[in-house]
Amino acid sequence: MAPITFLEAIRQAMFEEMAADPSVVLIGEDVGVYGGAFKTSEGLLEKFGWERVIDTPISESAIIGAACGMSYLGLRPIAEMQFIDFIACCFNQLTNFVAKGHYLWNAPAPIVVRGPSGGGVHGGPFHSANPEMYFLHTPGMKIVYPSTPSDAKGLLKASIRDNNPVLFFEHKFLYRRIKEEIPAGDYTVPLGKAVVRREGKHLTILSYAAMMHTSLEAAEALAKEGIEAEVIDLRTLMPLDEETILQSIRKTNKCLVVHEDTKTGGISGEIAAILFEKAFHDLDGPVLRVASLDTPVPYAPTLEEAFLPNAQKIFAAARDLAKF
């Protein structure tokens, strides 16, 4: 099978799930006639028609409100945010209604909210967000953030089939930059399960999304200096695969967490707390973090480059950690 892009993997997942299950619908801004702002839904309107591929006004709160009603009536809506930054407009519906309703009285809420996230494309402060941690604190919500085309497809299919509300983040830097051969036929990737991308013995690097590839780049540079870093792709932030994380730390005894989200309040702080509680005696050094600066994402390319983590920053932090 020929390699496909991350973007095409998303499109295939939606196409296949809509073809297999007539209750799956897509709703969002420009998802129909235009085929999506990034063309992730191109061809779906022609195949499935207006009743299942629904263009909406520019109102994220209306999109989520409609999707919630659809889910209570037996449909499985995929709600697209044209840019994930604007998920903030429907924060109340997601946290106070969708997630709590599902959690408190077990009402099925098979809603997938997906959209392009992340920086590195000079989109500026309103089109480059990584808002995953705003929702990690919400019981009843699952949060997925893949890094490869095969995972993007398998995780999105699993998310659509899940009865929980799922936030599905798609790093736009990866949309057309990476290609990969994906498994043939119908497959899913389980939610809540991390994967080891690179075996190592001297320290563990935990990451996800675009920073997974940056971490692997840094690990290759570290290997040239005799430092073998184990690199783990978290893939799902809620539920978090603590077992895989703890197994790796018991082997390497050191941990570096890398993410594009800002450092303060990022997933790295939660992981550090888990390690202090459950693996303190296995640690031979501090849990270090490489993350973005605590500012909005700059628009200027040079400032954005300084704002974001990169392979050099990861390399330097990992090399210092390895000395402990």
Residues known to be catalytic: 127
Please, which residues have CB within 8 angstroms of residue 184's CB and are 6 or more apart in sequence? Answer: 1
For 205, the 3-state DSSP assignment is: strand
Neighbours of 267 (CB within 10 A): 25
Residue 204 dihedral angles phi and psi, to the nearest 5°: -110, 130
| Residue 207: strand pairing partners | 233
Please, which residues have CB within 8 angstroms of residue 185's CB and are 6 or more apart in sequence? Answer: none
E-assigned strand segments in the chain: 4-5, 24-28, 53-55, 76-80, 112-117, 142-144, 166-171, 179-180, 195-198, 203-207, 229-233, 236-238, 255-262, 288-292
CA distances to 128, 174, 289, 298 from 121, rounded to whole Å, are 8, 10, 23, 11
- The closest of 232, 225, 241 to 204, measured between CA atoms, is 232
Torsion of CA 146, 149, 154, 156, to 10 degrees: 60
| Residue 126: strand pairing partners | none
